[in-house]
């Protein structure tokens, strides 16, 4: 079965890439990981990204009359392999790269302006890259990890009766001990000082993702009032299981936006109440998903297992590809060219404006909220909601929660400035700006 | 002074202040240690028989567990799937002997070591091809593994013993005892030890090297299956599990590469040591020390016993 799927994958890729490259096409490489320790998170994202773009090819003949040449490169969530993928796709003129790893994103940031290949690190990567004046080639919509942390803290505060009630509380932070997990640390530190709560840190080394009993013993000793998780791959199901084992109240265990349904299901009934942030639907009841089923899945051109379509990370992949597609479409509009390049798509992403009407046109009404980027703001800082695991699926339980942009923005500015100084001489922005605000 | 207090006094004050947490930490360490010991046992078996550090032991654990889960997902009843998986591990042992070990007879050990590297990547590739990269859930109920916990209200607090962990400890103990008897009391066990001592001499008295290699790789495969079931039940069955197998390295450094009791004692010392270290001393330096503490413990032991706790002392005279 798997063999059949892999043969199908090769055939699909070849059939898309070969004729498309021969004719006019826009080359969109997808850095994915369907193998290795993080495949549990990576596979559904890869499927969602691939299927949305394939659907555009099948249904619309591509974008603006130009086919998309889609090519996956397997990174295994390994930075070294990711950089090899980058070097492999660079000569083919990609219009952007999607590293899907903070570790891969960070070394690509200085290369982007030189190679003129925009980076779309959707809700991951370097938080400060939201500052378009410093990082004109990097985009990380719809939220930074700092926005995410601020929204979790706001949610916790709402449970307690207000931000001022956080004083004296103990909040635990369980995180993958890597670039991604460490990213929110300075911000969490600042929030703890501002609101007077005590932070307890529980780093999980990548080698110990499935062996977290020591961290959870510490949780048992410290008894945090709430636990926040920034995990990935096998770390997430293990954390939920350990939380259940430790009898930690699941209703007070809140994660950033990455856990899947399967991550929670592994712990059985005891996982009920586990919560995560999200900014899009976790079901398949939307015209866009119906079109994917009709034009890609039913024609046997998808690698996705049918029960995974419409799940959290599949939809995350779809959202990511929607941003890719809208960036390309905008680039075509701005430049008047059909076959756009990296420089054009950078402008396209910078003038991204997916409003409610556009979402409806895309078959995504109610799927997610609008997003608008500008030359200065490459992120959008969009609100998210909290979803609760009910034993089978995630159910939205809050209204939209706005990030604390008043707290996040000054830190982002300072961090972007520090980055530029540390990497001096960091180039001053000379790129064209189409949308100032 | 404060730092000295926090390093040398405070952890022991904490131990005395919350003895239930100390017992819980020791228990978690012992369970982890038993599982490390099982992984190390697989390495020891093959090292004893062929002098090769089998780098593929970790992926064998993942491969065995994935085969079991894959078969149950196809609707095969779990007990039958278990037997079929054991059969698959036997076939793997035969294939390894025929296509990897036999052509490399009399080659330097480093060649065999490198061959196990190759085997690792072949098994990763074949495993991903057949089972995909998604984590899978171990069917613990179908395998009659217990769930839930026994909560003991002792020492002024609560000590929670997961039934699965108790089962893991029992199964590991039975396997270790069985292997000890196998090595000491059976003809094949003695032949295996003879091969370990001297290939040429073993061959000269009519011991089939090929047969011994198949038996030992098969036994290591069964040990890998048991380990994979237990680790898989504690988290998920995924390729990430093979990283845990590297924890066997400090266990082997500590216990000696050729000693079955060494693997057991080494596993327990590492398991308990890293949990105590992470829990009581880890917070002093921001936590997350577990991944390297095991190696530090092993290296500290090496200063005093370079051959490991139970390893053979080699004296070469020039």
pLDDT-derived band at B185 (thresholds 50, 70, 90) equals confident
A39, B149: Cβ pair inside 8 Å? no
Q: Do A66 and A151 reside in the same domain of the chain? A: no
Q: What is the pLDDT of residues B75-93, one digit of tens each?
A: 999 999 999 999 999 999 9
Contacts of A202 in chain B (CB under 8 A): 287
H or E element in which residue A239 lies: helix A235-245
List the beta bridge partners of residue A201. Answer: A173
pLDDT-derived band at A19 (thresholds 50, 70, 90) equals very low
Residues A377 and A134: their CA atoms lie apart, in Å, by: 10
B197 close to A (CB below 8 A): no
Q: What is the pLDDT of residues B118-168, one digit of tens each?
A: 999 999 889 888 988 778 889 988 999 998 889 998 888 889 999 998 998
Q: Above 60 in pLDDT, residue A16?
A: no
A221 close to B (CB below 8 A): yes
Among chain A residues, the shortest Cα distance to B19 is held by: A221
pLDDT-derived band at A21 (thresholds 50, 70, 90) equals very low
Residue B100 in tokens? 């990897």
Please check whether residue A68 lies inside any domain of the structure.
Answer: yes
What domains are there in chain B, each with its CATH number?
Answer: 20-272 (1.10.3470)
Task: Please report the number of interchain residue pairs, chain A to chain B, with beta-carbon separation below 8 angstroms.
Answer: 133
What pLDDT score does A38 carry? 83
Q: Do A377 and A297 reside in the same domain of the chain? A: yes
Q: Above 80 in pLDDT, residue B49?
A: no
Q: Do A136 and A36 reside in the same domain of the chain? A: yes
**Spatial CA neighbour of B227 closest among A278, A125, B235:** B235
Query: Using an 8 Å Cβ cutoff, are A283 and A336 in contact?
Result: no
Residues B241 and B252: their CA atoms lie apart, in Å, by: 18
Q: What is the pLDDT of residues A321-337, one digit of tens each?
A: 999 999 999 999 999 99
Please check whether residue A60 lies inside any domain of the structure.
Answer: yes
* 118-137 of B, contacting A, C-beta below 8 A: 124, 128-135, 137
Residues B227 and B238: their CA atoms lie apart, in Å, by: 13
CATH number of the domain enclosing A194: 3.40.50.2300
Q: Above 90 in pLDDT, residue A150?
A: yes
What pLDDT score does A138 carry? 98
Only one residue has tokens 């095969």, namely: B76
Least confident of A378-382, B8-12, B203-207: B203-207
**Partner residue opposite B131 with nearest CB, options A2, A40, A202:** A2
Within a 13 Å sphere around the CA of A159, how many CA atoms are in the beta-carbon half? Answer: 15
B196 or A117, higher pLDDT: A117
DSSP state of A385: E
Final residue of a structural domain among A330, A363, A381: A381
State the DSSP string of B147-166: -SEEEE--TTS-EEEEHHHH
Q: Do A131 and A154 reside in the same domain of the chain? A: no
pLDDT-derived band at A20 (thresholds 50, 70, 90) equals very low
pTM confidence score: 0.86
Please check whether residue A405 lies inside any domain of the structure.
Answer: no
Which structural domain range is residue A123 located in?
A: 2-143+282-381
Q: Do A304 and A361 reside in the same domain of the chain? A: yes
Counting the structural domains of chain A, the total is: 2
A204 close to B (CB below 8 A): yes
A8 close to B (CB below 8 A): no
B217 close to A (CB below 8 A): no
Distance from CA of B276 to the nearest CA of A (A): 8
H or E element in which residue A353 lies: strand A353-354
Least confident of A67-81, A163-177, A263-277, B285-299: B285-299
Final residue of a structural domain among A342, A365, A381: A381
Q: Do A179 and A270 reside in the same domain of the chain? A: yes
Please check whether residue A23 lies inside any domain of the structure.
Answer: yes
**Spatial CA neighbour of A426 closest among A107, A104, A110:** A110
Final residue of a structural domain among A224, A245, A278: A278
Residues A115 and B122: their CA atoms lie apart, in Å, by: 36
């Amino acid at each position: 079965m798997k063999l059949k799927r892999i043969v199908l994958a090769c055939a699909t890729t070849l059939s898309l890439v070969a004729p498309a490259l021969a004719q006019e096409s826009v080359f969109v490489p997808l850095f994915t990981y369907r193998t290795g320790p993080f495949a549990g998170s990576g596979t559904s994202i890869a499927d969602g990204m691939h299927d949305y773009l394939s659907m555009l090819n099948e249904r619309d003949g591509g974008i603006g009359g130009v086919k998309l040449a889609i090519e996956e490169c397997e990174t295994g969530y390994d930075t070294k392999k990711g950089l090899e993928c980058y070097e492999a796709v660079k000569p083919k003129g990609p219009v952007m790269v999607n590293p899907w790893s903070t570790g891969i994103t960070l070394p690509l940031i200085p290369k982007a302006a030189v190679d003129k290949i925009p980076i779309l690190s959707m809700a991951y990567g370097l938080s400060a890259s939201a500052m378009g004046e410093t990082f004109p080639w990097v985009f990380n919509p719809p939220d930074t990890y700092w926005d995410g942390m601020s929204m979790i803290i706001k949610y916790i505060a709402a449970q307690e009766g207000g931000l001022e009630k956080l004083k004296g509380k103990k909040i635990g932070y369980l995180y993958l001990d890597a670039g991604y997990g460490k990213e929110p640390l300075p911000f969490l530190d600042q929030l703890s000082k501002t609101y007077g709560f005590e932070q307890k840190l529980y780093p999980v080394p990548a080698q110990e993702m499935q062996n977290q009993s020591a961290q959870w013993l510490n949780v048992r000793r410290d008894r945090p009032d709430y636990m926040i998780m920034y995990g990935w791959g096998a770390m997430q199901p293990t954390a939920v299981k350990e939380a259940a084992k430790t009898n930690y109240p699941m209703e007070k265990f809140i994660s950033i936006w990455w856990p899947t349904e399967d991550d929670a299901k592994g712990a059985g009934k005891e996982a009920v109440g586990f919560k995560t942030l999200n900014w899009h639907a976790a079901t398949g009841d939307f015209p866009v998903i119906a079109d994917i089923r009709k034009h890609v899945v039913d024609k046997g051109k998808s690698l996705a297992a049918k029960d995974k379509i419409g799940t959290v990370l599949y939809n995350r992949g779809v959202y990511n590809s929607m941003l890719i597609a809208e960036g390309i479409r905008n680039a075509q509009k701005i430049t008047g060219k059909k076959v756009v390049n990296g420089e054009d798509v950078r402008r396209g992403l910078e003038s991204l404006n997916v409003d409610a009407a556009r979402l409806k046109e895309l078959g995504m009404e109610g799927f997610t909220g609008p997003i608008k980027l500008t030359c200065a703001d490459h992120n959008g800082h969009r609100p998210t909601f909290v979803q609760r695991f009910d034993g089978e699926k995630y159910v939205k339980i809050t209204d939209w929660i706005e990030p604390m942009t008043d707290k996040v923005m000054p830190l982002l500015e300072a961090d972007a400035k520090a980055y530029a100084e540390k990497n001096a001489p960091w180039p001053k922005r000379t790129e064209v700006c189409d949308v100032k605000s | 002074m404060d730092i000295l207090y926090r390093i040398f006094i405070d952890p022991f004050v904490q131990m005395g202040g919350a003895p239930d947490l100390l017992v819980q930490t020791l228990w978690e360490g012992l369970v982890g240690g038993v599982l490390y010991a099982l992984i190390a046992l697989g390495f020891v078996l093959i090292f004893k028989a062929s002098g090769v550090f089998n780098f593929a032991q970790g992926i064998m654990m993942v491969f065995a567990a994935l085969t079991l889960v894959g078969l149950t997902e196809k609707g095969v009843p779990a007990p039958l799937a278990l037997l079929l998986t054991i059969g698959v591990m036997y076939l793997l042992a035969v294939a390894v002997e025929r296509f990897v070990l036999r052509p490399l007879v009399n080659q330097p050990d480093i060649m065999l070591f490198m061959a196990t590297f190759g085997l690792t990547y072949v098994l990763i590739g074949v495993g991903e091809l057949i089972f995909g990269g998604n984590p899978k859930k171990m069917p613990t109920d179908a395998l009659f593994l217990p769930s839930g916990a026994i909560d003991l209200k002792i020492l002024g607090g609560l000590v929670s013993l997961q039934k699965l962990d108790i089962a893991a400890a029992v199964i590991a103990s039975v396997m270790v005892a069985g292997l000890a008897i196998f090595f000491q009391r059976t003809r094949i066990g003695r032949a295996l030890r003879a091969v370990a001592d001297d290939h040429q001499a073993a061959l000269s008295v009519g011991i089939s090297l090929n047969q011994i290699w198949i038996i030992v790789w098969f036994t290591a495969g069964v040990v890998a299956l048991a380990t994979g079931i237990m680790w898989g039940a504690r988290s998920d069955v995924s390729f990430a599990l093979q990283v845990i197998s590297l924890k066997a390295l400090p266990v082997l450094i500590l216990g000696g590469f050729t000693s079955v009791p060494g693997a057991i004692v080494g596993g327990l010392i590492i398991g308990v040591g890293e949990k105590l270290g992470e829990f009581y001393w880890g917070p002093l330096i921001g936590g997350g020390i577990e991944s390297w503490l095991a190696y530090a413990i092993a290296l500290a032991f090496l200063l005093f016993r370079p051959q490991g706790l139970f390893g053979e002392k080699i004296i070469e005279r020039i």
